Amino acid sequence: MSIILIAIVIGVIAFFALTQINKDGKYADLGINISRVYCPNCNQKQPIMRKPANERQALFGGYTCKKCKTEMDKYGKELKT
């Protein structure tokens, strides 16, 4: 029983450690962003509670600015569509 618990804890720690690692100087897709996001074009503050506009936003997070319709990732970097 305790071996299973240790394995689960190690797995959870490894998952969060691997998702927080920067890949090629960019943020990890599965990382967690806890800071507020602003639109890179119009500097509009994005809401904390968001409604995903597409499948990518639902899976990996992200925003679509209501003011200028710019699509960005969860870190506030503009996505080229």
Global pTM exceeds 0.75: no
Q: Within 13 A of 80's CA, how many CA atoms are on the CB side?
A: 0
Per-residue pLDDT, 59? 86
Dump pLDDT digits (tens) for 9-44: 999 988 877 776 655 555 566 677 778 899 999 999
Domains of the chain by residue range: 1-32, 34-81
What percentage of the chain reaches a pLDDT higher than 90? 43
Dihedrals φ, ψ of 30, to 5°?
-95, 10
Q: Return the number of other C-beta atoms located less than 10 Å from residue 35's C-beta.
A: 7
